Structures are given as C-alpha cells and as structure tokens.
Structure 1
C-alpha cells in the first residue's frame, strides 16, 4: 500500500498527516519527510496517524528518531492517534510514555482543552 504524506500548518505547529501503511518499505519516505521538516526549521511537529492502517517497528523507529532529532533543537513532537490497534502498539512498547499522544489535531496544537500542555491518557 502506498504511503501518503500531507503537511499543513496549525498555529505554530507543523502537522504531518500520514495515511496508509508505515512499514519497512514506506518508512524511509516518512523519515525523509520528517527530517526535511525538522531541518527546515519546524520546531513544533505533530504527526497525525489518523489515516494509518498499519504501523510496524520500522515506523516506530522513524518516529523515535524524529523525536531524538527534534529534542536537542528545543522542539516538541506529538502524535495524534485514536485507533485502538495503533494505541495498543504504543502501550505494548511503552512508547505511550515517550510520546505525547492526543485524540485530535486540535488537542495536540492547543486549540482545545487537553492541548499540548498535557496529553489525553490513552489507556
């Protein structure tokens, strides 16, 4: 399945909407786009996984790598995810303790209560 990547700006945040499957074949495309955004000056990055059907360990590694790249620059990195199948992956790997995970882009960007000052619990 093809990976779709769409970028938009919401306030001070760069939102990367991801669709399709993030796996060993498509993860390099996601990695390249995240590096472009961060190296291009984006410091508040939100990855919207709302249209992602599948996420494997390679995809998780890409997300962790982006977080590690952004932190030294003083940036923030959040995920938007409501799909139980994906949330389960984050819980099993304990990455729900690493990434702030929000139910909506509005919550992740501070446009609604529960915004970036604190993620909505996923458990």
Structure 2
C-alpha cells in the first residue's frame, strides 16, 4: 500500500493497492485508511491498477469506508441523537479496475454506490470539478 496527496487535492489521498484485497490484507488496508482519515484525508481514491482479486473481506472494507464517508444528518450527543443539517463527510472512488475485479464489484452492487473511473487521473479530475454522477 502506498499513499500520496496530490498538490491541488486538499484532503484528497490516492491509495495505490497491490495484490489481493482479501482476508490477509483487509485489516491492514482498514488501518491504513483509518490513519489517512485521522490525518485529514476525507476524499479517497483507491488505485486498483495492481489489484488482482477482491473477496468479501475486501468488499467489507470498501463498504465500511463508504458508510464512514457518507453524509450524515445526525450526530450522537451522549444517549440521544441530535438532528442537524446534512453534512458531507467525504468521498471514496475506485480507479483503474481490471475486468475480473470490476465484475465482482458489479455483481455485488458496489458499482451503484462507489464510483469507478478508468484511471486515477480521471478520478482526480472529476473530484476537482465537484460532485457529478460518475460514468461507470
């Protein structure tokens, strides 16, 4: 795993993954992403150019990250929930996905919730342009 922050990407981190995203690597990826978010990255692009395989453990990391970065219309205040205006926490996108992994993401419904871009550069360009529906 390797992360970088593009110069013009305030809060944007690019995370390049290598190998399989499975039971052996999911916990490490979860920890790495949590550390990035803790350091202020609220927009993540996961570079899948070198990812060969994704299993349910890898999908679980993606789903958890998606939930974490979604807008929220409430905040916990002790025992009760306080409603507030919807806030935007952040975004996640996946780039440079091979056909095998793309099929897994499509079959499991991830292509409906996480944008997939043909390249990291395209994902960065879309991010910088603002929120638009992705082309899958």
Is TM-score (shorter-chain normalized) higher than 0.5? yes
Secondary structure of the residue aligned to 1:30 is helix
- 1:29 maps to which residue? 28
Alpha-carbon distance in structure 2 between the residues aligned to 1:115 and 1:93: 27
Please provide the CA RMSD for this pair: 2.0
Cα shift at 1:39 = 1.6
Alignment partner of 2:2: what SS? strand
Equivalent residue of 1:54, what SS? strand
2:5–2:14 contact (8 Å) kept in structure 1: yes
Q: Which runs of 5+ in 2 are unaligned?
A: 73-87
Q: TM-score under structure 1 normalisation?
A: 0.85
Q: Where in structure 2 are the equivalents of 1:90-105 lying within 5 Å? A: 90-105=105-120
What secondary structure sits across from 1:99 in the alignment? coil
Match of 1:39 in 2: 38
The equivalent residue for 1:16 is: 15
Distance 2:23 2:31 in 1: 14
2:98 corresponding residue in structure 1? 83
Would you say how many aligned residue pairs link Structure 1 and Structure 2?
116
Residue pair 1:108, 1:116 contacting (<8 A) in 2 also: no
More strand by share: 2
Deviation at 1:22, TM superposition (A): 1.1
Residue in structure 2 matched with residue 56 of structure 1 by the alignment? 55
- Structure 2: distance between partners of 1:111 and 1:24: 31
Kept after mapping to 2: 8 A contact 1:19/1:49: yes
Give CA-to-partner distance per residue, 1:73-109, whole Å, 9 cap, x none: 6211111133100100011001100101001011111
CA contact (8 A) 2:93 2:115 kept: yes
What's the TM-score once normalised by structure 2's chain length?
0.77
Which has the higher Rg, Structure 1 or Structure 2? 2
